């Protein structure tokens, strides 16, 4: 039996605008997705902001009712058996909010342990273990409002594990963390998978999914556009060449023309301080560097380098091809 | 059953601790009743009725309990949503009413600050002796009143979150309830139709039980009504909370983002 199953899972939102004449708009956040996560698997749901990751997660943890389709956790339906699902699942969300800031980390953990029906004797053993696991031992009696962002994230993880759930869902747990904090947190997530738990992780950091996940589903505009192991996804762009061009102040129009240039498969733009790095993909063997620089006439160009495609290039290709 | 009782107790204590860390909430729970108590002392003194000065202390304190319940419970769900804690508590297995009731009960309990402050203020500043006809019944009456107001808090919190416009009624509900429950003037002075409203409000019976325990008389009919209203409020509150939870999961309004 799969730990998590989603079948034709769909969710729309309604938003209204206007004062005198109110208009209702329906937004398709998740458009009938199917996926399965096996027991003990560390599965990544990868996609850009607004792709539908968090909406999918919230349906699985029973915080949202699907518009149509079904989802099951350990065979339990997320709508019909919501309370039973909540006992089996640990939900960890990213961001700083979500804890009672005026109380200590220990107070927060004790309260949620009670909500999850953890017996007092078990709490006495489990809470120190979890504090140790997430590196908060010694700070548990401090008020949460004095915690750093990373400490709050780790407190969320400890809270999600209080009832020792077989399935753990982490929604962008490393968002906004500094590199050291993010690395420590990834280590904790890897430990969870090693302990036999089923882990569903959402992220928009490709290297995070690559480092942690057994399998990945790439979601874009509410649809799953690819599923497979990191190696499977890399193979999607194996036949491509990637050129990275460092540019300074390239206007939007220039980037648009670059995207439409013959032979160019995709162009991703990464902002790095004052520079933009244009990551241009094209079919393998096609030498386009000179032509590409021609399109950037009038723009100050720095370093230019061709390299082998990475998983991140596969991801960029998958989420931009449909646009 | 033991697990539910423990959950209620631990949650109540947790929320009480959280509320007592809010200096502003405590400050307003104390200062406003003290102002009303002071006004009431001078009014009663001017009326040449020194025997009823303790009545003024109690009334001002009970008004404070109502105010902290009204404002604390009325915004309880919106406040959890704002803090980002609404999603984690809804995602927890117990029925939401078992999580929300200890919270509204804690806001009513904070009203004890008001009652204690007005009684001490009367004693220290105005020299009003604290003499209770039935001290044990008095303590019981305060406890039962707080329980019933906590249950009323669920109705207030649930209805305010379900009908967002109702939140604007918070300010309007403070003063009229003081009047219709007999905190300011005896109910006998009010028109007959007001009595029907008074009867369905727990503060009416809470005030009656506390005053009877203080000045003498049979407080048990008031206890009976408090218990009945407690059960009715919990049932109505559960309906509101269930409706809220279902609608919020359908409309995606549990979080701000």
Tokens describing residue A242: 């990637």
Quick check: A121 contacting B, CB < 8 Å? no
Nearest CA-CA partner of A86 in A197, A163, A1: A163
Nearest CA-CA partner of B38 in B115, B118, B139: B118
The pLDDT value recorded for residue B38 is 86
Task: Please tell me which residue of chain A has the smallest CA distance to B99.
Answer: A115
pLDDT band of residue B27 (cuts 50, 70, 90) is: confident
Output the pTM of the full model: 0.85
Inform me whether the pLDDT recorded for A322 exceeds 60.
Answer: no
The pLDDT value recorded for residue B30 is 82
The pLDDT value recorded for residue B163 is 67
Residue with more model confidence, B235 or B249: B235
Say how many residues make up chain A.
Answer: 323
Chain B residues touching chain A at CB-CB below 8 Å: 3, 6-7, 10-11, 14, 17-18, 21-22, 83-85, 87-95, 99, 246, 249-252, 254
The pLDDT value recorded for residue B252 is 81
Q: Provide mean pLDDT across the span B223-232.
A: 95
Q: B-chain residues within 8 Å CB-CB of A115?
A: 7, 11, 89, 92-94, 99
Flag whether the ipTM exceeds 0.95: no
Q: Give the one of B14, B21, B252 whose C-beta lies nearest to A13's C-beta.
A: B252
pLDDT band of residue B74 (cuts 50, 70, 90) is: confident
**Which of A129-138, A173-182, B60-69 is the most confident on average?**
A129-138
The pLDDT value recorded for residue B189 is 81
Q: Give the one of A63, A107, A115 whose C-beta lies nearest to B17's C-beta.
A: A107
Q: Provide mean pLDDT across the span B36-58.
A: 76
What tens digit of pLDDT does each residue of B182-217 get?
A: 777 777 788 888 888 888 999 999 988 998 998 888
**Mutating which of A61, A63, A169 best tests the B interface, going by the most B Cβ atoms within 10 A?**
A63
Task: Please tell me which residue of chain A has the smallest CA distance to B7.
Answer: A114
Inform me whether the pLDDT recorded for A323 exceeds 70.
Answer: no
Q: B-chain residues within 8 Å CB-CB of A13?
A: 252
The pLDDT value recorded for residue A164 is 92
The pLDDT value recorded for residue B164 is 61
pLDDT band of residue A153 (cuts 50, 70, 90) is: confident
**Contact call for B93 and A64, based on CB within 8 A:** no
Q: In this prediction, what percent of chain A has a pLDDT beyond 70?
A: 99
CA–CA separation, A112 and A123 (whole Å): 10
Q: Give the one of B3, B83, B91 whose C-beta lies nearest to A86's C-beta.
A: B91
The pLDDT value recorded for residue B165 is 62
Work out the minimum CA distance from A247 to partner chain B, whole angstroms: 35
Inform me whether the pLDDT recorded for A155 exceeds 60.
Answer: yes
Inform me whether the pLDDT recorded for B256 exceeds 70.
Answer: no
**Contact call for A107 and B11, based on CB within 8 A:** no
CA–CA separation, A311 and B233 (whole Å): 58
3-state secondary structure of B92: coil
Helix/strand/coil (H, E, C) string of chain A? CCCEEEEEEEEEEEEEECCCCCEEEEEEEEEEEEEEECCCCEEEEECCCCCCHHHHHHHHCCCCCCCEEEEEECCEECCCCHHHHHHHEEEEECCCCCCCCCCEHHHHHHHHHHHCCCCHHHHHHHHHHHHHHCCCCCCCCCEHHHCCHHHHHHHHHHHHHCCCCCEEEEECCCCCCCHHHHHHHHHHHHHHHHCCCEEEEEECCHHHHHHHCCEEEEEECCEEEEEECHHHHHHHCCCEEEEEEEEECCCHHHHHHHHCCCCCCEEEEEEECCEEEEEEEEECCCCCHHHHHHHCCCCEEEEEEEECCCHHHHHHHHHHHCC
pLDDT band of residue A139 (cuts 50, 70, 90) is: very high
What tens digit of pLDDT does each residue of B123-157 get?
A: 888 888 888 888 999 999 999 999 999 999 888 88
Taking the CB of residue A274, how many other CB atoms lie within 10 A of it? 7
**Contact call for B83 and A83, based on CB within 8 A:** no
Provide the phi-psi class of B217: left if phi over 0, else alpha when psi is between -120 and 50, else beta. Answer: left
- Angle separating helix axes B53-74 and B202-215, nearest 10 degrees: 150
The pLDDT value recorded for residue A39 is 92
**Mutating which of B24, B86, B91, B250 best tests the A interface, going by the most A Cβ atoms within 10 A?**
B91
Q: In this prediction, what percent of chain A has a pLDDT beyond 90?
A: 41
pLDDT band of residue A160 (cuts 50, 70, 90) is: very high
Beta bridge partners of A170: A92, A201
The pLDDT value recorded for residue A103 is 94
CA–CA separation, B202 and B144 (whole Å): 10
Inform me whether the pLDDT recorded for A273 exceeds 80.
Answer: no
CB A286 within 8 A of CB A239: no
Q: In this prediction, what percent of chain B has a pLDDT beyond 90?
A: 28
Work out the minimum CA distance from A94 to partner chain B, whole angstroms: 11
Task: Please tell me which residue of chain A has the smallest CA distance to B96.
Answer: A115
**Contact call for B11 and A87, based on CB within 8 A:** no
What tens digit of pLDDT does each residue of B82-127 get?
A: 888 988 998 999 998 999 999 999 999 988 888 888 888 888 888 8
Alpha helices by DSSP H, listed for chain B, are 2-20, 23-46, 53-74, 76-83, 86-90, 96-126, 135-162, 170-180, 192-199, 202-215, 220-251
Q: A-chain residues within 8 Å CB-CB of B14?
A: 100, 103, 107, 110-111
CA–CA separation, B161 and B74 (whole Å): 8
Q: Give the one of B10, B21, B88 whose C-beta lies nearest to A102's C-beta.
A: B21
Q: A-chain residues within 8 Å CB-CB of B252?
A: 13, 58, 64
- Angle separating helix axes B23-46 and B96-126, nearest 10 degrees: 50
Q: Give the one of B14, B18, B88 whose C-beta lies nearest to A98's C-beta.
A: B88
Inform me whether the pLDDT recorded for A156 exceeds 70.
Answer: yes
Inform me whether the pLDDT recorded for B49 exceeds 70.
Answer: no
pLDDT band of residue A106 (cuts 50, 70, 90) is: very high
pLDDT band of residue A206 (cuts 50, 70, 90) is: confident
Q: A-chain residues within 8 Å CB-CB of B6?
A: 114, 120
pLDDT, mean over chain A = 88
**Mutating which of B252, B254, B256 best tests the A interface, going by the most A Cβ atoms within 10 A?**
B252
The pLDDT value recorded for residue B222 is 92
CA–CA separation, A168 and A90 (whole Å): 5
The pLDDT value recorded for residue A215 is 93
C-alpha pair distances (Å), B111 with each of A63, A149, B76, B115, B146 = 33, 35, 16, 7, 8
Q: Provide mean pLDDT across the span A79-99.
A: 90
What tens digit of pLDDT does each residue of A11-49 get?
A: 998 877 777 777 888 888 899 999 999 999 999 998 888
pLDDT band of residue B48 (cuts 50, 70, 90) is: low
- List A residues 10-49 in contact with B (Cβ-Cβ < 8 A): 13-14
Work out the minimum CA distance from A62 to partner chain B, whole angstroms: 7
**Contact call for A83 and B6, based on CB within 8 A:** no
Q: Provide mean pLDDT across the span B216-238.
A: 93
**Mutating which of B15, B249, B251 best tests the A interface, going by the most A Cβ atoms within 10 A?**
B249
Taking the CB of residue A28, how many other CB atoms lie within 10 A of it? 15
**Contact call for B91 and A91, based on CB within 8 A:** yes
Work out the minimum CA distance from A304 to partner chain B, whole angstroms: 40
pLDDT, mean over chain B = 85
Q: Give the one of B14, B21, B93 whose C-beta lies nearest to A87's C-beta.
A: B93
Tokens describing residue A28: 């398709």
Residue with more model confidence, B219 or A78: A78
């Amino acid at each position: 039996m799969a730990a998590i199953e989603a079948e034709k899972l769909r969710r729309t939102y309604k938003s209204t605008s206007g004062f005198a004449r109110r208009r209702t708009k329906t937004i398709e956040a998740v458009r009938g997705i199917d996926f399965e996560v096996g027991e003990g698997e560390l599965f990544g749901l990868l996609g850009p902001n607004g792709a539908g990751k968090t909406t999918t997660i919230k349906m699985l943890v029973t915080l949202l009712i699907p518009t149509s389709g079904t989802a099951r956790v350990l065979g339990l339906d997320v709508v019909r058996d919501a309370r039973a699902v909540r006992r089996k699942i640990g939900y960890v969300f990213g961001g700083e909010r979500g804890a009672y800031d005026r109380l200590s980390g220990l107070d927060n953990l004790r309260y949620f342990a009670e909500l999850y029906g953890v017996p007092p004797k078990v709490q006495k053993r489990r809470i120190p273990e979890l504090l140790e696991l997430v590196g908060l031992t010694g700070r548990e009696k401090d008020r949460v409002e004095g915690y750093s962002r990373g400490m709050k994230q780790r407190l969320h993880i400890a809270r999600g594990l209080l009832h020792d759930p077989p399935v753990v869902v982490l929604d962008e747990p490393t968002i906004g963390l500094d590199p050291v904090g993010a690395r420590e947190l990834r280590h904790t997530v890897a430990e969870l998978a090693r302990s036999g738990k089923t882990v569903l992780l959402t992220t928009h950091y490709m290297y995070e999914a690559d480092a942690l996940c057994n399998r990945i589903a790439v979601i874009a505009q509410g649809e799953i556009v690819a599923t497979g192991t990191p190696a499977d996804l890399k193979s999607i762009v194996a036949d491509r060449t990637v050129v990275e061009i460092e540019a300074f102040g390239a206007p939007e129009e220039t980037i648009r023309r670059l995207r439409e240039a013959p032979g160019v498969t995709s162009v991703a733009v990464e902002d790095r301080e004052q520079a933009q790095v244009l990551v241009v993909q094209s079919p393998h063997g096609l030498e386009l560097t000179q032509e590409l620089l021609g399109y950037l006439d009038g723009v100050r160009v720095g370093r230019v380098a061709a390299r082998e495609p990475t998983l991140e290039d596969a991801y960029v290709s998958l989420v931009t091809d449909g646009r | 059953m033991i697990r539910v009782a423990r959950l209620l107790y631990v949650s109540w204590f947790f929320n009480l601790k959280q509320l007592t860390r809010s200096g502003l909430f405590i400050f307003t729970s104390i200062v406003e009743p003290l102002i009303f108590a002071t006004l009431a002392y001078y009014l009663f003194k001017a009326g040449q009725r020194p025997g009823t000065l303790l009545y003024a202390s109690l009334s001002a304190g009970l008004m404070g309990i109502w105010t902290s319940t009204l404002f604390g419970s009325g915004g309880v769900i919106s406040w959890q949503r704002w803090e980002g804690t609404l999603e984690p508590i809804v995602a927890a297995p117990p029925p939401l009413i078992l999580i929300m009731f200890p919270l509204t009960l804690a806001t009513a309990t904070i009203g004890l600050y008001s009652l204690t402050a007005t009684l001490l203020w009367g004693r220290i500043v105005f020299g009003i002796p604290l003499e209770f006809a039935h001290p044990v019944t008095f303590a019981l009456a305060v406890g039962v009143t707080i329980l019933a107001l906590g249950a009323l808090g669920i109705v207030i919190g649930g209805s305010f979150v379900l009908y967002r416009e109702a939140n604007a009624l918070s300010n309007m509900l403070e003063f009229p309830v003081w009047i219709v429950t007999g905190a300011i003037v005896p109910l006998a002075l009010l028109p007959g139709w007001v009595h029907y409203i008074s009867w369905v409000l727990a503060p009416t019976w809470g005030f009656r039980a506390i005053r009877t325990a203080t000045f003498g008389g049979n407080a048990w009919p008031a206890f009976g009504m408090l218990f009945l209203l407690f059960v009715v409020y919990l049932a109505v509150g559960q309906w509101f909370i269930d409706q809220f939870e279902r609608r919020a999961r359908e409309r995606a309004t549990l979080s701000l983002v």
